[in-house]
Amino acid sequence: MSSSQLPAVPVDALPADARPLDVREADEWAAGRAPTAVHIPMSELTGRLHELPDDQDPLYVICRSGGRSARVVAYLVSQGYPAVNVDGGMQAWAGAGKPLVADGPGQPEIV
């Protein structure tokens, strides 16, 4: 499945109650993320599938810019999950003025 055939949604079309699956690494997550996101790094996904939210259809997958999340969506779709890639990732999220939170005292940022 090519990335152009993957289910995708722009950030501004996400439902207000969406809980995106953030597949970035721990340092990226700590620097800035969606307040409602669920964190499972791409490198840990196959061992943590049991942690995927099962109350959300579709499952919105997000990374920094959309590349890693596209690969995760391709994998999840092949496993029967209703996954959708968030176009533009957290860069688009921040660019759209959506809320961000971070660990620590500094301002949230997308790294």
Return the active site residues: 63
Residues with Cβ < 8 Å from 85, sequence gap 6 or more?
A: 3, 6, 7, 8, 9, 61, 66, 69, 70, 73
Residue with tokens 């953030």: 22
Tell me the β-bridge partners of 10: 87
Q: Omega before 41 cis (within 30°)?
A: no
For the sheet with 21-22, list strands across it.
Answer: 8-10, 83-87, 59-62, 21-22, 38-39
